[in-house]
Amino acid sequence: MQLSLGSDPRTDLLRRTQAALTGEYGRIVRPPDKRRDPVWTLVQGVIGARSKTRVSNDSTDRLLADYGSWEAVAQAPLEELVEALANQTFPEMSARRLKDCLTAIIEQRGAADLRHLSNLATEEAMAWLETLPGVARKISAQVMNTSTFDRRTMVIEGHHRRIMQRMGLVPAKADTLRAYNALMPIFPEEWSAADMDEHHLLLKKLGQSHCRPSRMACEACPVRPDCETGKAQDVA
């Protein structure tokens, strides 16, 4: 008879973190009508570098409304796209990446369409996305998790990575890909794609309110009992 090795303590820590953050902020559940088409989600990610989510959402909606299709966006002159993305933090970079990304999809698929990814395993689909210009692990995970694909994967951006590093779950100098590879195997098996999405949104809120890049507010942090950085301050 094979004996159970028990739960990984890091997995239990993530469960406690989720419970503590839900107690602090309440539930943050993405409504079904907020799960957008995968191409829309990809575009939002590609143009969104260092921009607020609301700004990138508005820019993505406006592009589709103004041009009528993603194929038309891909064919637009670069200078025109730069002007259309003037509200983004880096409009020229965003425009170039968007044009290159959509053009690559059209060249490979004949249209700006990602429906073929629904037939692939999640890791295979993410690997395909990461061959596109401007797409790395954060965006590929975002497309698979937050769009209508609704896959069980984790979006890791700056707030999320910083908190996991301070809690001791991710190496201090890990980039997004390394953080993703460290965390995915220890997420609770019972968490659905929606749970993974909520975990990311809760950590983002924590990063904006308590666990900021500087001026950490550890004394009021709801996850301080499980955080290596927070506990170290108790000893200091």
93-151: pLDDT as tens digits: 999 999 999 999 999 999 999 999 999 999 999 999 999 999 999 999 999 999 999 99
Q: Compute the Cα dihedral for 95, 100, 101, 107 and give only its sign.
A: positive
- Measured distance CA(152)–CA(141) in Å, rounded: 9
Q: In which residue are the tokens 């570098």 written?
A: 49
Structure tokens at 213: 């890049």
Per-residue pLDDT of the chain (236 residues; tens, 9 = 90+): 343 455 799 999 999 999 999 999 999 999 988 899 999 999 999 999 889 999 999 999 999 999 999 999 999 999 999 999 999 999 999 999 999 999 999 999 999 999 999 999 999 999 999 999 999 999 999 999 999 999 999 999 999 999 999 999 999 999 999 999 999 999 999 999 999 999 999 999 999 999 999 889 999 999 999 999 999 876 55
Q: Write down all domains in the chain, each with its CATH number in brackets.
A: 9-30+155-235 (1.10.1670.10), 36-146 (1.10.340.30)
Of 228, 233, 176, nearest to 13 by C-alpha is 228
Q: How wide is the angle at C-alpha 125 spanned by C-alphas 122 and 130, nearest 5°?
A: 125
Q: At what angle do helices 176-183 and 137-146 cross, to 10 degrees?
A: 50
| CA dist., res. 124 & res. 121, Å (int) | 5
Nearest to 62 by CA among 81, 34, 42: 81
Torsional sign, CA 137, 151, 29, 206 = negative
CA-based nearest residue to 101, from 112, 92, 91: 112
pTM of the full structure = 0.93
Are the CB atoms for 98 and 69 separated by under 8 Å? no
